[in-house]
Amino acid sequence: MSDKPLMCPSSPWETPNAKVFGVVAGTVETPEVHYLKETLDATPELAAKLNGENPGEVFRVAAPCGKSSCQHHDGTAHKCTLVSRIVGTVPIMFVGRAPCAIRSTCLWWAQEGAEACKRCPKVITNPRVITERELAMAAQPPEAPHD
């Protein structure tokens, strides 16, 4: 295995040394991650291209595993409990492995292998939460033109 630090593929946008490796696509009800051929640095310049959208909701980002500073890290077994739960509960989305630019350093791949990759496209790190007010506004028909 590479001696590079293992990367958590569900990192917050703000994490130091973060790399973008996927883009959230699909619909609000059924989002899915589309993978990039090459990673991009998670920079303010990249975020500025989103016209105000939250980069944490648009991109999947990988960054060095936070180990014991992360709530999902099992300090005893040195494992990511999040990916263990994902493999145990999330239905398979991909029969094979999703094409992925970070596989050689991915912590989830190192820990769970292909079982993680089969479910990874369904993992949305920072899901967009639509408020009831936004839903109500979206349901409003356009105003009739005034004479």
Chain residues that interact with ligand SF4, rule: CB under 6 A: 9, 98, 100, 102-103, 106, 108-109, 116-117, 120
The answer to whether the CB of 43 falls within 8 A of the CB of 16 is no
The answer to whether the CB of 111 falls within 8 A of the CB of 79 is yes
Nearest to 85 by CA among 63, 115, 48, 114: 115
- Smallest distance, Å, CB 106 to ligand SF4? 3
- Smallest distance, Å, CB 20 to ligand SF4? 12
Nearer CB in complex with ligand SF4: 75/96: 96
φ, ψ for residue 88 (rounded to 5)?
A: -80, -20
Nearer CB in complex with ligand SF4: 38/147: 38
Nearer CB in complex with ligand SF4: 22/55: 22
- Smallest distance, Å, CB 108 to ligand SF4? 4
| Helix, strand, or coil (residue 22) | strand
